[in-house]
A = this chain, B = another copy of it.
């Protein structure tokens, strides 16, 4: 029999990986909660009506469609079924696909908001941490099943939310041990102002798509593409004179206003960002927050602030993105509801922490203590010790089988526990148990209270 395996582009997460993934998710979740975001979960299954046509042509191709055998069998018209079976190999079962797998968390959120709009109190802050599926070609760092981690506030255009999200970015990256992360901010109105100020007569979307390639193709490449669209070189040079980046401060905003020649559209961006800065007054940022006028994030649906977070020198692109949108729910018939949201790329963050080994020490260890013994009597005594451990919130395992003590230590080392307790006749008589710190090779004779204190230290 061939060894079974998980499908291409998917992953099993064993205990050692789960500890680290949970650390990332718990860190993000804890910060989201402190900022009043509340949990939401939507089903993995959505109707194709909800999903189709929402992710562009490429997205539509990557959508996973679903049928149960039962549905297929029940719904196939008999006369057609015969014709089809003649055409198809046995294993090809045709079906009308009514359901699909969640492709992102944004569209299901929009669907939820529209469907439940009469029960929701706006502004509504929700976070959502769930899997999504895309039938993409698997590659390094690209999976068919992965986790998204979103926070959005919908139903208010207050810039307080942008300030809250910046604080969230700061706390998430600091708590993850990535204080060198950079949060890049731009504003849709700056992009529109560039088009206006340079009198480009093509859509903002086309302009931002080109600008978005700056990282990859450089100024020369962007200029070449713009010139190809009929923009003259002088204007391109004007453009590059404006679109630098600088720390987001009142002073730098004023400088940009000048560079924009006090363009009225740019002024709207500057007013918004000033308001955000006012809300942040007194808050100490650990990460760098940078105004980057070349930041476009491709998506045409952002209408205000745009966010992107990167970890320098990680060799990985953005680890988070987001922004303000004014028509997320429009696709489902609910117009003019403003919102703002961000999304963390958990898998990319994991890769950075793993590559640079930035995990805190306790994430490398199995947090259990192993209780070792010599015979049935000492094993039963160990069950009592285990109870005391667990009543005090300490996880532990009594070695289940009657094997030689070295076998038990082998097991302890293999599963990565730091401490083992040895219980034999002497220990049962005196109540002083032998504690072995397997990491340091130390050994102590202590009573159970002292042992728990040692382990908790």
Contacts and interface: CB of A to CB of B under 8 A. Distances in A.
A187 to B, nearest CB: 19
Contact of A332 (B1, B88, B96, B114): B1
Interface string A373-412: 0001001100110010110011111101100000000010
B61 A73 contact: yes
Interface in A348-393: 366, 368, 376, 379-380, 383-384, 387, 389-390, 393
A67 B69 contact: no
Contact of A94 (B5, B46, B84, B280): B84
A115 B5 contact: yes
Given A95-B92, A133-B44, A384-B282, A19 B39 contact: yes
Nearest to A49: B4
A1 B383 CA distance: 63
Nearest to A90: B96
A218 interface: no
A202 interface: no
A383 B279 contact: yes
A43 B145 contact: yes
Contacts of A6: 42-43, 45-47, 111-112, 115
Nearest to A91: B96
A12 B99 contact: no
A50 B4 contact: yes
Interface in A77-127: 80, 83-84, 87-89, 91-99, 101, 111-112, 114-116, 119, 121, 123, 125-126
Contact of A145 (B11, B45, B73, B80): B45
Nearest to A30: B393
Contacts of A49: 4
A15 B126 contact: yes
A73 B168 CA distance: 42
Interface string A56-71: 0000111111111111
Q: List the number of copies, as a whole number.
A: 2
Contacts of A71: 135
Interface stretch (A156-164, A419-427, A438-446): A156-164
Nearest to A114: B4
A22 interface: yes
A380 to B, nearest CB: 6
B387 A282 contact: yes
B39 A12 contact: no
A380 B4 contact: no
A67 B64 contact: yes
A282 B13 CA distance: 37
Contacts of A87: 80, 83-84, 87
A4 B111 CA distance: 6
Interface in A200-234: none
Nearest to A36: B397
14 contacts: A3-B115, A12-B41, A15-B40, A18-B41, A45-B144, A66-B101, A80-B88, A93-B95, A94-B94, A121-B411, A121-B415, A160-B379, A160-B400, A161-B400
Given A5-B115, A6-B115, A34-B390, 16 more contacts: A3-B114, A3-B332, A11-B43, A14-B40, A18-B39, A19-B39, A35-B395, A36-B368, A63-B68, A69-B135, A70-B135, A89-B96, A123-B400, A125-B397, A167-B387, A278-B380
Interface of A: 1, 3-7, 10-15, 18-19, 22, 33-36, 38-47, 49-50, 60-73, 80, 83-84, 87-89, 91-99, 101, 111-112, 114-116, 119, 121, 123, 125-126, 131, 133-135, 144-145, 153, 156, 158, 160-161, 163-164, 167, 171, 278-283, 332-333, 366, 368, 376, 379-380, 383-384, 387, 389-390, 393-398, 400-401, 411, 414-415
